[in-house]
Amino acid sequence: MSFKIGLIGKPNAGKSTLFSAITATEVEIANYPFTTVAPNIGTSFIIRRCPEEIIGKKCNPNHGSCSNGNRYIPVQIVDVPGLIEGASEGKGMGNQFLQSITDASALILVFDMEDAFKSNDFALSINKEISDIKDELIKWASSIIARDWERFAKKADSLNEKVERQLSRKIGSLGLDEKHIHEIMSAGSLPLKLSLWSDDDFRSFADIMFSRIKAIVPVANKADLVPPEKISALQQLDVRVFPVSAEYELAIQRALTHGLISSRLPPFKPTEKATPKQAEALNHIEEFISSGIVARPFDILGDIVEKILKLIVVYPVYDDSTWTDKAGNVLPDAFLVREGSTPLDLAYMVHTDIGEGLIRAVDCKSKMIIGKDHPLKDGDVIRIISKS
Point out the residue whose Cβ comes nearest to ligand GTP: 82
Select from Mg ion, ligand GTP, none the partner in contact with residue 30, using the beta carbon and a kind-dependent cut-off of 5 to 8 Å: ligand GTP
Considering only CA atoms, which of 233, 248, 322 is closest in space to residue 289? 248
Considering only CA atoms, which of 214, 237, 211, 226 is closest in space to residue 101? 214
Binding segment toward ligand GTP, per CB under 6 A, in 24-32, 50-58, 203-211, 340-348 = 24-32
What number of residues does the chain have? 388
Looking at residues 34 to 93 of the shown chain, list those that interact with ligand GTP (rule: CB under 6 A).
34-36, 81-82
Q: Does 99 bind ligand GTP (CB under 6 A)?
A: no
Q: Does 224 bind ligand GTP (CB under 6 A)?
A: yes
Q: Which residues of 3-27 are buried (b: 16+ CB within 10 A; e: fewer)?
A: bbbbbbbbbbbbbbbbbbbbbebee
Q: Does 100 bind Mg ion (CB under 5 A)?
A: no
Question: What CA–CA distance (Å, rounded) separates 132 from 9?
Answer: 9
Beta carbon of residue 77, minimum distance to ligand GTP (angstroms, whole number):
13
SS3 content of the chain, % helix, strand, coil (to 5): 40, 20, 40
Q: What is the greatest pairwise CA distance in the chain?
A: 74
Select from Mg ion, ligand GTP, none the partner in contact with residue 245, using the beta carbon and a kind-dependent cut-off of 5 to 8 Å: ligand GTP
Angle at 358 between CA 51 and CA 320, to 5 degrees: 30
Considering only CA atoms, which of 388, 235, 178, 366 is closest in space to residue 379? 366
Close Cβ partners of 67 (under 8 Å, ≥ 6 residues apart):
none
Cα-Cα-Cα-Cα dihedral sign, residues 3, 378, 109, 296:
negative
Strand pairing category for 70-79 and 4-8: parallel
Question: What CA–CA distance (Å, rounded) separates 280 from 111?
Answer: 28
Looking at residues 237 to 276 of the shown chain, list those that interact with ligand GTP (rule: CB under 6 A).
245-247
Select from Mg ion, ligand GTP, none the partner in contact with residue 222, using the beta carbon and a kind-dependent cut-off of 5 to 8 Å: ligand GTP
Binding segment toward ligand GTP, per CB under 6 A, in 4-12, 121-129, 142-150, 315-323 = 4-12
For residue 36, the Cα-to-chain-centroid distance in whole angstroms is 20
Binds ligand GTP by CB under 6 A, chosen from 3, 4, 6, 16: 16
For residue 3, the Cα-to-chain-centroid distance in whole angstroms is 7
Residues near ligand GTP (CB under 6 A), total: 24
Binds ligand GTP by CB under 6 A, chosen from 17, 168, 341, 342: 17
Q: Can you tell me whether residue 112 is helix, strand or coil?
A: strand
Beta carbon of residue 245, minimum distance to ligand GTP (angstroms, whole number):
4
Considering only CA atoms, which of 32, 29, 68 is closest in space to residue 52? 68
Residue closer to ligand GTP, measured from CB, 90 or 340: 90
Residue closer to ligand GTP, measured from CB, 20 or 168: 20
Select from Mg ion, ligand GTP, none the partner in contact with residue 34, using the beta carbon and a kind-dependent cut-off of 5 to 8 Å: ligand GTP
Residue closer to Mg ion, measured from CB, 80 or 106: 80
Residue closer to ligand GTP, measured from CB, 83 or 349: 83
* Under 8 Å between Cβ of 189 and 197: no
Beta carbon of residue 21, minimum distance to ligand GTP (angstroms, whole number):
9
Binding segment toward ligand GTP, per CB under 6 A, in 14-22, 51-59, 325-333, 341-349 = 14-22
* Under 8 Å between Cβ of 138 and 87: no
Binds ligand GTP by CB under 6 A, chosen from 225, 308, 369, 385: 225
* Under 8 Å between Cβ of 153 and 194: yes
Binding segment toward ligand GTP, per CB under 6 A, in 9-17, 181-189, 208-216, 291-299 = 9-17
Q: Does 16 bind Mg ion (CB under 5 A)?
A: yes
Beta carbon of residue 111, minimum distance to Mg ion (angstroms, whole number):
13
Binds Mg ion by CB under 5 A, chosen from 23, 36, 166, 253: 36
Q: Can you tell me whether residue 295 is helix, strand or coil?
A: coil
Instruction: Write out the residues near Mg ion by the rule CB under 5 A.
Output: 15-16, 35-36
Q: Which residues bind ligand GTP (CB under 6 A)?
A: 9, 11-17, 29-31, 33-36, 81-82, 221-222, 224-225, 245-247
